[in-house]
């Protein structure tokens, strides 16, 4: 599942990088929780939780159905 999450994040990454941010995959647990670290402008943006939940999480769940949640660490 980690490889599928990496591929999906690669599709999201250009949008984040366009705004000066990025996302790093930290861990994918056996129960489908994806742990990421928001970087650059995304790391300190007040809207980062919206980006995480409504953008990254929504996309990952659609692309990799085994994903149950995405959290920032």
pLDDT of residue 18: 93
- Mean pLDDT of all residues in the chain? 94
Q: Which residue carries 């861990």 as its tokens?
A: 27
pTM > 0.95: yes or no: no
Question: Is the CA virtual torsion 9, 14, 19, 21 positive or negative?
Answer: positive
Would you state the pLDDT for residue 38? 93
Q: Does domain 2-72 have CATH number 3.30.300.130?
A: yes
8-state DSSP, 68: -
pLDDT for 47 beyond 90: no
pLDDT of residue 63: 96
pLDDT at 42: 83
pLDDT higher than 90, residue 46: no
């Amino acid at each position: 599942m980690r490889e599928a999450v990496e591929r999906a994040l690669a599709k999201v990454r250009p949008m984040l990088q366009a705004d000066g941010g990025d996302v790093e995959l930290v861990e994918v647990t056996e129960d489908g929780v994806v742990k990421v670290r928001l970087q650059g402008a995304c790391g300190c943006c007040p809207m980062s939780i919206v980006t995480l939940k409504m953008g990254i999480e929504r996309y990952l769940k659609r692309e990799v159905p085994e994903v149950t949640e995405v959290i920032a660490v």
